[in-house]
Structure 1
Amino acid sequence: MRVPSHPALPWLAASGVLLMWASSFLVIRVAGNDFSPGAMTLLRVVAASIVLLLLLALGRVRMPRSLRLWAAVLGWGVAWFAAYLVVLSAAELFLDAATTAMLVNLAPLIVAVVSGLLLGEGLSVRLLAGVLVAFSGIVLISVGASTGGLSGLGVVLGLLAALFYAGSVLAQKLLLAHVDSTSMTVIGVLAGALATVPFAPALATELRAAPLDAVLGVLYLGVFPTALAFLLWGYALTHTGAGLLSSSSLLVPALTLLLAWLLLAEVPPPLAIVGGCLCLVGAGSAVGPAIIAALRSRRRADYPEPTSTPPCPEAHPGEDPAHAPCS
């Protein structure tokens, strides 16, 4: 695992990612009235690709060193930026945003267990307990904010999105040992854009009828929750464990609830508020100690404790330096 220039930077990056991903649930819900899942995903990843092409033009992208690595990165990009986004958008056609967030956020639990058992990151009792507490909060948010009965197809799509999410995070963690996070994100988004080209006819039709605010909303999804957020996520994942970092995303449903309250004036029911508090407690207990330990280690490095060794006295005039006390 690489050492960042400051231990707080990966967690600052992760905080920005969580806010952008939480906002994306609201935008998908609104834009879903005017765009089908495939068309929305195509417009989203095309917008992200345009932004990321600047990094390619600036020479910040290094190409994978082998055909096998190329295939792995392209496959990861199709899974993250095509399959996952299409399935997620489709799930929100059948489920409310809170329930979708609950199902998708099964992924951090999957990542924490798999990375702990198979990637050698360890599976501490504190991490697992924090994940379970946060997930119980997500369940309460879903129950409190649910608008009605659950759709069987929606549940299947939500679970499938969680599997794409977990598999993509685990694959990215392995590939980051061979490809830097910026290059991987740029290549992955371009692969996702190519994979969603078959939705171009639907997008052309829907763009003619869609209102401007819906189009701007999808463009926002491409520039911020996709291009910028995944660059920051790749950076954070380079410097932290996959299970630990993914556990922080358990805050997304609580943040989504808060943003809906602030931006859409949707007052959350009491049960959902309790669930949001559990999300904060669980995620805080899961990732908080790691953040505090990293910051303390940096402080010790910047301000080392003074040594107890007394200063060396200087040799007296005329004294042979070879016989000085500290020679």
Structure 2
Amino acid sequence: MGALALLWGSTFLWIKIALDALAPAQVTLVRCALGAAVLLILCHRKGHRLPRSRALWGRLTVAAFFCNALPFALFSLGEQTVDSGVAGVLNATTPLWTLLIGLTTGTERGLSRARLGGLLLGFTGVLLIFAPWQRSGLAGWGSLAILGAAASYAVAFAYMGRALVGRGTPALALSAAQLVAATGLSALALPAGGLTPVHTDAAGLAAVVALGVLSTGVTFHLSVRLIADEGATTAATVGYLLPVVSVLLGAAVLGEALSVRVVAGMAVVLTGVGLTRWRRRAPGTAVAAAEPAPAVR
């Protein structure tokens, strides 16, 4: 979860810079294609083969639409008019959406008061960090696009936890196959605003490479593993850690100041995430997992 937060925390930055060179539809296609290429190379080195079942590829296509093609496009569209702070708050609604979907569909079981409190506390911490009441842009189509992307992630996490992981296919092969499907879906959408000329902006092109290789390929594989090991709702709580990462990177790299409010928000986020991972111990036994952890190798 820590590694995923570190790599995923820079996503909004890369998207912002990449939009200087590419249109939103082009950013979506390139990041999916680069992410798929990275995971296909890793699959080849590990000796894993992509799934051959038509039924499984059908499920992968559904997951690719909700987890990759749709939210990637919505984030790129939304960040044209929404600043990163507002985007961070809206993106942090993913764990809450995931919880709601899990409770509605019955896939979320054994939700303790500590875990529920942790989810709510984590979101409160995100609000403290970003202070959206001090920002503009909360009302508009850009915000709706990012909120839709967060909800789409939640649908995908719940679906993947129920229909894909823990069924015998290695997580790496699942990740690679899903990004291949997402690349195909993104290519189909390219005529809708993605045929504009590419600007030769070195920073923008470098950003889209980082976005595809690190913030798509590597992070998506880690997300699949986390869903398999911890369940959809717990995996989604990594969204609360992204603001903490971005704030710490801003302070360490850019020399940005840390206010008391931001530091307090970070502490609240970490406390909330800790509560979501709290498990009761039965006398004389190891920690009992609240959600099944299928063996995925």
Q: Which residue of 2 aligns with 1:280?
A: 270
Equivalents in 1 of 2:254, 2:99: separation in Å?
A: 33
Aligned-residue offset at 1:256: 1.7
Larger Rg: 1
Matched, 1:239 2:229: yes
* Cα shift readout 1:103-142 (whole Å, capped 9, x = no counterpart): 1111111223433561153211000101111101112223
* Cα shift readout 1:35-74 (whole Å, capped 9, x = no counterpart): 3221111111121122222245454134153x33221111
Matched, 1:23 2:13: no
244, 249, 266: which one aligns with 1:259: 249
Aligned-residue offset at 1:86: 0.8
Q: Which residue of 1 aligns with 2:40?
A: 53
Equivalents in 2 of 1:98, 1:291: separation in Å?
A: 35
Matched, 1:177 2:166: yes
Matched to 2:246, the amino acid is T
Matched to 2:165, the amino acid is L
- 8 A contact 1:115–1:122 mirrored in 2: no
Q: Which residue of 2 aligns with 1:164?
A: 152
Matched to 1:261, the amino acid is A
- 8 A contact 2:50–2:177 mirrored in 1: no
Higher helix share: 1
Give the TM-score normalised by structure 1: 0.77
Correspondences of 1:99-248 after superposition (within 5 Å)? 99-115=86-102, 118-143=106-131, 147-174=135-162, 175-178=164-167, 179-197=169-187, 198-199=189-190, 205-207=196-198, 209-248=199-238
Q: 1:200 to 1:19 in 2, by over 3 A?
A: farther
Q: 1:96 to 1:146 in 2, by over 3 A?
A: farther
* Cα shift readout 1:69-100 (whole Å, capped 9, x = no counterpart): 22111121122221111101222122111211
Give the TM-score normalised by structure 2: 0.84
Matched to 1:130, the amino acid is G
- 8 A contact 1:140–1:272 mirrored in 2: yes
60, 63, 66: which one aligns with 1:73: 60
Matched to 1:245, the amino acid is A
Matched to 1:249, the amino acid is G
Aligned-residue offset at 1:102: 1.1
- 8 A contact 1:144–1:269 mirrored in 2: no
Q: 1:271 to 1:30 in 2, by over 3 A?
A: farther
* Cα shift readout 1:212-268 (whole Å, capped 9, x = no counterpart): 121111101111111111112212221212222222431112222222232333334
Q: Which moved more, 1:47-56 or 1:275-284?
A: 47-56
Q: Which moved more, 1:231-240 or 1:196-205?
A: 196-205
Q: 1:53 to 1:119 in 2, by over 3 A?
A: same
Matched, 1:44 2:34: no
- 8 A contact 2:86–2:137 mirrored in 1: no
Q: 1:211 to 1:62 in 2, by over 3 A?
A: closer
Q: 1:79 to 1:114 in 2, by over 3 A?
A: closer
Aligned-residue offset at 1:30: 2.5
Percent identity between matched residues is 24
Aligned-residue offset at 1:202: 6.4
- 8 A contact 1:134–1:278 mirrored in 2: yes
- 8 A contact 2:61–2:181 mirrored in 1: yes
Equivalents in 1 of 2:79, 2:68: separation in Å?
A: 17
Structure 1 residues not aligned, in runs of 5+: 1-13, 299-327
Matched to 1:60, the amino acid is H
Matched to 2:39, the amino acid is L
Equivalents in 2 of 1:92, 1:127: separation in Å?
A: 31
Equivalents in 2 of 1:210, 1:265: separation in Å?
A: 29
Matched to 2:151, the amino acid is L
Q: 1:152 to 1:292 in 2, by over 3 A?
A: farther
- 8 A contact 2:123–2:269 mirrored in 1: yes
- 8 A contact 2:86–2:135 mirrored in 1: no
Matched to 2:59, the amino acid is A
Q: 1:148 to 1:264 in 2, by over 3 A?
A: farther
Matched to 2:98, the amino acid is V
- 8 A contact 1:61–1:186 mirrored in 2: no
